[in-house]
A and B are shown apart, each in its own frame.
Chain A
Amino acid sequence: MRPRWIKVFHDLWDNKARTLLVVFSIAVGVFSIGVIAGAYQIISNDMSISYAANQPANVELRTVGFNQDVLGSIQNTHGVLDAEARRVFNMRVRVAGTEKWTTLDMVAFEDFEANTVNLLTALQGDVIPKKREVVLERDALNHVDVQVGNVLEFQLQDGSTKTMPVVGVVQDTAMGAGDFLASPYAYVSMSSLQYLRQPELFNRAYVTVETGGDDIRHIRVIGADLKDKLEKNGTRVIRTRFSETYEHPLASTVNAILGILMALGILIVFLSSSLIANTLSALLNQHLRHIGVIKLVGGRKRQIFEMYLVLIMSFAALALLITVPLGGQGAYGLALFISSELNFNVLGYRIVPMALLIQVAVGLMVPLIAGLSPVISGSRITVLRALSGDLTGDESQPQGQQQTRVSWLDRMLIRLTRILASRGIHFPRPFIISLRNTFRRRGRLILTLFTLTMGGAIFIAVFNVRATLHAYIGSIGKYFVADVTLDFDQPYRLREIEQMVMQVNGVVGMEGWQFVSGELLDVNGEVLENINIFGPPADSVLIEPLLVKGRWIHADDVRKLALSEAAYGYFPNIEPGDQVTLKIDGREEDWEVIGIFKFVDREGVLAYAPYEYISQMNNLANRSYSFRLITENHERSYQNAKAEELDKFFRERGFKVRVAQAGRATLDTAVESLDTLVVFLLIMAILTAVVGAMGLTGTMGMNVLERTREIGITRAIGADDRAVMSMVISEGLVIGAISFVLAIILSIPFTYLLSTIVSLAVFETPIDVIYTFMGYVIWFGLVLVLSVVASILPARNAARLTIREVLAYE
């Protein structure tokens, strides 16, 4: 091998700590981008394939009971490819012999073998339950501690129980897709319904369309036709849902979240590039003498440039060697995690060519770009300057170009020190040295501060985003103030329920609510979207709407409603006083918009109208299916206990309770889902912090190495180990403290940006930003710890040097 390449090999191999620092600096960015790019590719590909593979229904119709004849009529509707009917009902179950009840959505199939829509995938055991047998969806296993072969107890309306063995486990990727809040599913055959005292009637129809499975407008038209047809036949449709075949309902959310992670990944690459630039620049400084020698014995710029280019590419190759397999595994792991959270399947481990390409491109290009400037300036250095060997700070300039004036910063520091000293405030001399040392290598300081500040700003911003999301959920919670929600399978008189609930200890109030669903139509009478109209009493104390425009509902409002902001998606200029056309029970009606309120746009267009009017529409005056209760204590545990107690209380008295649940249950589930997202963001923030800390460690290491002679002189005039160490650590702390101040400033735009992107992705609504001191406090503590930790190793190395060693350094 040629001697110059032998030198390159030794540069790579001999200083392993430095090689590791550079390799890890490259690796951390490449890894992050590889994981996210890979996961993005896997998920965006597999999510829709997995979803489509199970023949998802394009139209879901939730109705009152219907029979096989109605199903036949659905199947014969023009444009319908296939249709299946099921009965879905809610039951409380527990493992026989245990205490804890869990609510499951029971799905009854007429014929499991004829399953062609929303296909079930067999996972374990028998997937076709016989009479009085049950099969569980895999998600149910997270809620009920049960295995195939165990027996479950099912609670009936009257409080009595029936038992059925669990014979198998299936996966149902289509049903409940996109519904974070759906209960876990269990499957029985229609022949078990009598045993469970359920009518042998269907209440859901799942329909696939013949053509245009990915045309949501076409699907809506078919859905509206089906709804009309059913309602004309006397089958009331409570709710319709539309989905495209190749578009998982959560695809846009997942892609948006991965997009955010990708942006953070790119930022990490960017930060790691500044770290690489810093380290390579220091490496070139350390190698000045070598470059001088090479030039002295005939080396030209191009040769030196090539040598260091090969060195950088070797660092990059080593980093890729680590990160390509790790990034592939990480990408698959992340995709697997997301897929299990959202109940779809990934198609198995594989190398994603695009992610691999991105990793290789980033792994090679970033160090190359980051290292180009130091390598070019290193190769251009004159022999004399290179051989002068005085590598410290600005002193490395040849005499002719040496700075002859004290910088404004140093003058300011000197003046400040004097002013403080004149007032009797004396800083220890080593600290003053540390303070001045901090600003000696300005370029390096700026790069280090940039990395550490960005890490800090993102870290703080993530905490602010978390607080923002929680605050938003909290404000949305004002639409769900009730402590217990009590739903029945049949309507009951308000007064009757009120008298009953007041007998339950701790219940202090009650309201009956009603609902009606319809479709929002455009000016041509085409269906735009489903609309659910909630009907709380006009004077309800259980809702505190976030009104954007207009007013809230009044008791005497007739065909007047308050609309959620999601309506802007269809009517950007809608104002209170305008009319909207709704189709309810097959009839087109014009309703007046009285107000517009803030809500989660993802939930579609919602509306509120007074109970007083909705109950008349539903012919249920003074009655309701759904009741909202207020208890004297609003804690979640208290709400749970009361829900349990009320459930038992009503069942024992023969009421047909559908579900009784804590008011905060829905919100808490939403918060849990958001916290999963925040954890991802936090992992990325920690990665940026790690890059920042690596940057600081590198900088401190380089500073110490370059100041070896000065340290020797300090020791020669009496500085002990402690003084030397404290000088180095103080410098690290000063850098950490400066970066903290800068991070506070930068965290403001970062918080805005991140909050807006996340809220648009998750809620499809921009939300107000909230700042929390928590992120600032944690980062302040963390940055101080990181600064000390990053400085300890270089400080120890400095303290270990003997005077003889350091003064013989040249």
Chain B
Amino acid sequence: MDNTLIELKNVSKTYSTAAGDFTALKNINLKVNAGEFVGIIGKSGAGKSTLLNMINGVDQLTNGEVIVRDGGENISVHEMSEDGRALWRGRKMGVVYQSFQLLPMLTLIENITLPLDLSDNFKPRESKARAMQLLQLVELEEHANKLPAFISGGQQQRVAIARALANDPSILVADEPTGSLDSITADHILDVFEHLVSDQGKTIIMVTHDTSLAVRFTRNLRITDGELEHEGDSDESKKVDKTMRRRRK
């Protein structure tokens, strides 16, 4: 049975710059199955963030198609309007960025309930309970009423993950979520991701420049100059994965 959740067909992205046209993505074809923790690894400028922005519909593609399966229905992300994509993203896809992107004037709990509000799912009591549940998941419930500025970077990133999960989306995309964190905090974030994949069945696509993280993914993709160089399961990462699961048990 086809378990594909996300499919990229011949996706290309070309930017026009002063120096001429620049192709950031070249004919990308990719399938991501439900429950996968996919890592896209590449150097700075390789096109990994662009690829992620094609998947979450934040940027427009030049050619090709991105299809996301949702309840038996195939949704072509880039055929939706900007508003349609925003609503779909809010409900169906959590997004985490390196720079956390929390609203500084809202408390942690308010930041988490924001997607519920924007997707018209806000019910004061239930939404608050849901936000607290997510804060517990990322072990920050005692900081619920603090402003982002009063917690550490790692904690902010965990809040960003909690916010991404507010509407209980099946897919999570993360752009260098550990890029500005120290190794211990980064490890903790990856633990959360692994937990989401293994225990909640979420599908996560994460881009990073850090090759050492390859072991944490169920599948590694390497991107160089806008082309996916290598696609396949990482034996090493599988090994690590198994070790991790065993350790948890």
Contacts and interface: CB of A to CB of B under 8 A. Distances in A.
Interface string A293-309: 11111111111000000
B117 A301 contact: no
Interface string B89-106: 111000101010111011
A14 interface: yes
B18 A298 contact: no
Interface stretch (A3-11, A436-444, A581-589): A3-11
B114 interface: yes
A295 B82 CA distance: 9
A301 B15 contact: no
B90 A298 contact: yes
A400 interface: yes
A300 B58 contact: no
A616 interface: no
Interface string A1-33: 011101100110010000000000000000000
Contacts of B58: 296, 382-384, 387
Given A3-B114, A384-B53, A300 B101 contact: no
Contacts of B89: 296-298
User: Taking each of A293, A387, A400, which has the highest tally of chain B beta carbons within 10 Å of its own beta carbon?
Assistant: A293
B163 A298 contact: no
A402 interface: yes
Interface string B11-26: 0000111100000000
A404 interface: yes
B118 A303 contact: yes
Nearest to A13: B105
B63 to A, nearest CB: 15
A648 interface: no
Nearest to B89: A298
B18 A3 contact: no
A301 B118 CA distance: 11
A384 B106 contact: no
Given A290-B103, A402-B18, A3 B113 contact: yes
Interface in A366-384: 382-384
A11 B105 CA distance: 8
Given A293-B101, A298-B115, A7 B106 contact: yes
> Is the contact region of chain A dominated by helix, strand, or loop, or is it mixed?
helix
A160 interface: no
A14 B118 CA distance: 22
A233 to B, nearest CB: 89
B144 interface: no
B111 A295 contact: no
B82 A382 contact: yes
Given A3-B111, A4-B118, A383 B86 contact: yes
B110 interface: yes
A399 interface: yes
Nearest to A6: B110
B110 A294 contact: no
B119 interface: yes
Contacts of A289: 101
A12 B144 CA distance: 23
B191 interface: no
A298 B167 contact: yes
Interface string A400-413: 10101000000000
Interface in A695-736: none
Interface string B53-87: 10000110000000000000000000000110011
B114 to A, nearest CB: 4
A808 B101 CA distance: 15
B115 A297 contact: yes
B101 A3 contact: no
A90 B103 CA distance: 80
Contacts of A11: 105
Nearest to B112: A3
User: Taking each of A2, A292, A297, A810, which has the highest tally of chain B beta carbons within 10 Å of its own beta carbon?
Assistant: A297
A296 B160 CA distance: 12
Interface in A275-331: 289-290, 292-303
B59 A384 contact: yes
Nearest to A287: B103
A304 to B, nearest CB: 9
B39 to A, nearest CB: 21
Given A2-B117, A3-B111, A10-B106, A297 B82 contact: no
Contact of A3 (B15, B91, B106, B167): B106
User: Taking each of A3, A290, A387, which has the highest tally of chain B beta carbons within 10 Å of its own beta carbon?
Assistant: A3
Nearest to A298: B90
Contact of A297 (B90, B99, B110): B90
Contacts of B114: 3-4, 7, 294, 297
B118 A10 contact: no
A300 B17 contact: no
A292 B59 CA distance: 12
A351 to B, nearest CB: 37
B48 to A, nearest CB: 15
A293 B114 CA distance: 10
A3 B166 CA distance: 13
Contacts of B17: 399-400, 402, 404
B192 to A, nearest CB: 18
B123 to A, nearest CB: 11
Contacts of B91: 298
B113 A300 contact: no
Interface in B121-139: 122
Nearest to B99: A810
Contact of B90 (A14, A299, A384): A299
A301 B119 CA distance: 12
B86 A7 contact: no
Nearest to B84: A300
A294 B17 CA distance: 28
A301 to B, nearest CB: 6
Contacts of B166: 297
A148 to B, nearest CB: 65
Contacts of B117: 2-4
Given A7-B103, A399-B15, A300 B59 contact: no
A293 B15 CA distance: 23
B82 A400 contact: no
Nearest to B82: A382
A299 B86 contact: yes
Contacts of A383: 58, 86
B91 to A, nearest CB: 7
B119 A293 contact: no
B87 A298 contact: yes
User: Taking each of A3, A293, A298, A301, which has the highest tally of chain B beta carbons within 10 Å of its own beta carbon?
Assistant: A298
Contact of B82 (A4, A301, A810): A301
Nearest to A295: B86
Contacts of B82: 301, 382
A780 to B, nearest CB: 42
Contacts of A295: 86
A400 B15 contact: yes
Contact of A296 (B16, B101, B110, B122): B101
A301 B16 contact: no
Contacts of A293: 101-103
A687 to B, nearest CB: 34
Nearest to B102: A293
B25 to A, nearest CB: 14
Nearest to B96: A296
B86 to A, nearest CB: 5
7 contacts: A3-B106, A7-B105, A292-B101, A298-B115, A300-B83, A300-B87, A402-B17
Interface of B: 15-18, 53, 58-59, 82-83, 86-87, 89-91, 95, 97, 99, 101-103, 105-106, 110-111, 113-115, 117-119, 122, 163-164, 166-167
Given A2-B117, A303-B118, 14 more contacts: A3-B113, A4-B117, A290-B103, A293-B101, A293-B103, A297-B163, A298-B91, A299-B86, A300-B86, A387-B97, A399-B15, A400-B16, A400-B17, A402-B18
Nearest 8 pairs between A and B by C-beta?
A: A298-B90, A10-B105, A298-B118, A404-B18, A297-B115, A3-B114, A300-B83, A3-B110
